[in-house]
Amino acid sequence: MAAALACAAAASCRAPTAGAPAPAPEPAPRFPHGPHAAVACVDCHPVADRTTARLARPGSNDHAPCDRAECHRAEFLSTPGPLCTVCHEDVDPTGAAPSELVPYPPPRGRGALPSAFSHASHVRWDAMEAAVGFHVACGDCHRPAANRAAPGLPGHATCARCHVAEAAPPGAPRMTECAACHRSAQGRAPRRPRLIAGDLRFAHADHEVDRRGKPIRCAECHTDIASVARRGAHRPPPTAACVACHDDDSRTPPELSMRECETCHATRSASFGTLAPRSHLPATARPENHTLAFRRDHATEARVAGETCARCHLLMSGSSRDTCDECHRAMRPHDHTIGWREFDHGPQAATESERCATCHAGDFCIACHARPPRSHLPLVDFAAGGHAVPAALDTRACMACHDVARDCLAPCHGGPR
């Protein structure tokens, strides 16, 4: 809210800086990801080459997997129609002429500062496992949404889950190392202030003097005023600048405190609850039980009184993200010890799969479970007879991956005995 207060009434803040180029138009997405949100990423984008980490484009292999029976087989068996134009300029059903592909659109808009991000290094599952002990799946960075045309592009908050200083693996850049990703300012588009619009109301005339009659200097809110050449170039003040006065009863009447939403918002949302967002409160304003130990020991309270937690951490965080992710995506659960992956996660995944799904999508599991277990090595010896004892002791473990008729009876054992 308050980050935009000092600029909300000034037209110069909402208009582009003189001479600045207009924002690049957002191209229409070619593929509707929204209706496919329930399909695992790897169903359409299998890792075609683990060495170069090139993701196969759906349909590049004679339209597979798009032409599966449960997908679009009926359209592929019919005459060319709207589905074909999703990828092709025109289609010749006789095959006499090539069916040219539609030019793939460029990334949406213009980046404020070009990034040298390497998608390849993040999807090399084997290399990541060897280097840092874990890998990332598509859904970890690209959050699908049924009401969106394409999966969301990750921002700094997504990167921070792994690259925040407390969680970054050895050799990985920290979030504070801006130049590790943003290596050049060339092509940078002029930035405009991002303001909260809608019901926000603000009047500079009401901010000339405080409650005691003491003048409010411009620099108290606009800390960069000495370094800008014109009014429209200064940055909107941070929310902290508003908190400093509006939570000081000697400078602002209590009825105009940061906790009174109507001070700045014409229409109070029903979801606001009784507390202001965290960004609108002093750093010391927190519940008494939120001690240092509470940060790691709040599971019981979160389960019993989840709605109470949500008032600050979800509804009033000022962000559309689940703010629990700020820690839970960067810090591993306490039971994820060194031996967790090798020995302990199987039984818990079988009995508490919903807990696993809180953080992990199916393709995260597939990346490991698609490889032969260590107990199967060397494969030649294991297939020649070394599997007999493990199969006798734990047949259910075998059936987790193997179909008895297909993998056991047909190729080797020849039928029931």
Interval 367-395 mean pLDDT: 84
CA 311 remoteness from chain centre: 22
Q: Average model confidence (pLDDT) for the chain?
A: 71
Collapsed DSSP state (helix, strand, coil) of residue 57? coil
Peptide bond just before 29 cis, omega within 30 deg: no
Alpha-carbon gap, residue 3 to 412, rounded angstroms: 70
Q: Over 70: is that where the pLDDT of 198 sits?
A: no
Instruction: Identify the residue whose tokens are 């003097």.
Output: 209
Amino acid at 101: L
Is this model's pTM higher than 0.75 or not? no
Q: Over 70: is that where the pLDDT of 3 sits?
A: no
Q: Over 60: is that where the pLDDT of 233 sits?
A: yes
Give the chain's radius of gyration (CA, Å).
28
pLDDT per residue over 240-268, tens digit each? Answer: 788 888 888 889 998 888 777 778 877 66
Domain segments of the chain as ranges: 2-17+191-280, 293-328, 340-369, 374-413
